[in-house]
Amino acid sequence: MSLASPPDARCTCRNRDGSKLELGQTVCIRIGDVAYLARCEMELNVTTWRKLRDGCPEARLSVGTNLTQ
Q: What is the pLDDT of residues 9-40, one digit of tens each?
A: 678 898 888 889 999 999 999 888 999 999 99
pTM strictly above 0.75: no
Average pLDDT over residues 43-57: 91
Q: What is the pLDDT of residue 26?
A: 93
**Euclidean distance between CA atoms 31 and 19, whole angstroms:** 16
Q: What is the pLDDT of residue 4?
A: 55
